[in-house]
Amino acid sequence: MMITGLLLAGCSSSPKESGSTGKDELILAVGAEPETGFDPTTGWGRYGSPLFQSTLLKRDDDLRIENDLATGYEVSDDGTVWTVKLRSNVVFTDGKPLTAEDVEFTFDTAAGNGSAIDLTNLKSVQSEGEGTVIFTLKEPQSTFVSLLVSTGIVPKHAYGKDYAELPIGSGPYKFVQWDKGQQVIAEANPDYYGVKPYFKRMTFLFLSEDAAFAAAKSGKVDVAYIPSSYSKETAAGMRLEDIKTVDNRGILFPYVPSGGQTRDGNPIGNDVTADIAIRKAVNVAIDRSALVEGILEGYGSPAYSANDGLPWGNNQIVIKDADVNEAKTILSDAGWTDTDGDGIAEKGSLKAEFNLLYPSGDIARQSLALAAADMVKPAGIHMNVEGKSWDDIDKRMHADAVMFGWGSHDPLEMYNLYSSTYQGVDYYNAGYYSNPVVDDWMNQALRATNEDEALKYWKNAQWDGKTGLSSLGDAPWAWLVNIDHLYLVNDKLDIGRQRIQPHGHGWPITDNIEEWKWNN
């Protein structure tokens, strides 16, 4: 009943009736409802196109930087001044012109509201006339380009407390209606400066995975995101699109020993996982390919970092895994042996035993955690798997291992996950990892004047031949899998070439919405 009601609200005809050749509207169930709305200054669009707003730059299908609102940009020799030139004659959907003043306002607003957008290195942003914006950074930052890619521009004249619920922008689609808990309706922006989208109207339904699959089977949606557990089932008139991602899942280890330290009253450190032999043994013992086949139904890939398949990933860090005997050798060489015959290795008074937390209600993470625990048990390591609320995980994540998920088109995420600067900050470096050599490589990457120059430093941070943040080096994580994003798509719908997708927030499948069309 809910789906029917939504369709009546969002469409002039039912999907089956409108599913004929030449259809110019789409109905999609491709992701969760944004809890905080559609304001780019508070994070909307970080994991996929902001859709309703334009960005200064964007990435192509190979993740190379290209212009969007900008016609070009220059970076000063010292890397601290970024000068961006804007297109002329761009207008917002209310008909008012988009100028450099709007760009200045957007970044000032994002910097001042403590949002998910990290602009702490931004010293100032100034508009010069209508077509030039000058960003001045406190220090060089090669990853600043990612903020120009992900931050949608909002109108200074129409920005207020209700903007997140009634956004105005200059993107390929304009916002029409948001029925909270049910749907968002968008229409093609006739004044869009780029390639005009084929589809005139789109309705985004906010459905559970079960309901989205049911809607696809009954022909009520054109695109539906589904979990891998549904991948073997079929829906008439729909095909399965398997899109590669860097949407990873992995085990974060507390890196430091317990020593009475606390953060906000919560304990820090774990004497077992602080031993590198434990971390390396877990990495070697886990059969990542078996996890992909058994848990993800084959729709995924083994993960060895937070950057697999991205330009700043280091292909040299792939290890030979599924080797319990090697894991036993690593433990034995480090003094871990099962002396009492209970199947758990000991080292002095310590047993090779620790807790592994996952967010309760997340079936995929639960399954991965349980399977990983079974895989390391023959090596003599016992992981106690527990499902907990995020509130509980927040209190325990500095002293217990956690099954986390990450994945971004921004190399700054690697910095946040591993830099000693971010120890215990939010959910980033919750294990308190620190390596001054890794810090130095990453700081060199940040200080580079452009993304291409920074690539070698990001790769060295993962493994430079002697040390690194990967499992070849300090192994503060055991990365397990990258989860493919699966969509049921109407057989007549062409969704273009899909780039590798980030972690599953936002609606990343719409990144290339201008390429979508209805096939005759």
Q: What is the DSSP string of 209-244?
A: HHHHHHHHHTT--SEEEE-GGGTTS--TTEEEEEE-
Residue 143: closest CA among 510, 416, 406: 416
Give the separation between CA 409 and CA 252, rounded to whole angstroms.
Answer: 20
Residue 114's pLDDT is: 66
Question: If we measure between CA atoms, which residue out of 155, 154, 157, 192 comes closest to residue 173?
Answer: 192
130 and 185 inside one domain: no
208 and 325 in a single domain? The answer is no
Residue 383 within any structural domain of the chain: yes
- Domain of 233, in residue numbers: 1-33+180-245+484-520
267 shares its domain with 318: yes
Are residue 116 and residue 239 in the same domain, yes or no? Answer: no
* Distance (Å) of CA 326 to CA 110, 161, 290, 295, 330: 49, 58, 18, 24, 6
3-state SS assignment for residue 446: helix
Same domain, 114 and 207: no
351 falls within a domain: yes
Q: In sequence order, which residues have a C-beta less than 8 Å from that of residue 10 and are 6 or more positions away?
A: 27, 183, 185, 203, 205
Contact 131, 100 (CB under 8 A): yes
- Tens digit of each residue's pLDDT, the chain (520 residues): 233 333 333 333 333 443 434 589 999 999 889 988 999 999 898 877 899 999 999 998 888 999 999 999 999 999 999 999 999 999 999 999 999 999 999 999 999 876 678 899 999 999 999 999 999 999 999 999 999 999 999 999 999 999 999 999 999 999 999 999 999 999 999 999 999 999 999 999 999 989 999 999 999 999 999 999 899 999 999 999 999 999 999 999 999 999 888 888 999 999 999 999 999 999 999 999 999 999 999 999 999 999 999 999 999 999 999 999 999 999 999 999 999 999 999 999 999 999 999 999 899 999 999 999 999 999 999 999 999 999 999 999 999 999 999 999 999 999 999 999 999 888 999 999 999 999 999 999 999 988 899 999 999 999 999 999 999 999 999 999 999 999 999 999 999 999 899 886 778 999 999 999 998 7
CA 483 → CA 356, 405, 512, distances in Å?
20, 10, 20
- Shared domain check, 197 and 152: no
Q: Of 448, 483, 482, 479, whose CA–CA distance to 462 is shortest?
A: 479
Residues 152 and 254 in one domain: no
Q: Does residue 488 share a domain with residue 476?
A: no
Together in a domain, 407 and 418: yes
8 Å CB contact between 264 and 505: no
With beta carbons less than 8 A apart as the criterion, state whether 50 and 154 touch: no
- Total number of domains constituting the chain: 3
CATH code at position 162: 3.40.190.10
Residues 288 and 260 in one domain: yes
Do residues 89 and 15 share a domain? no
The 8-class DSSP code of residue 497 comes to: P
**Whole-structure pTM value:** 0.88
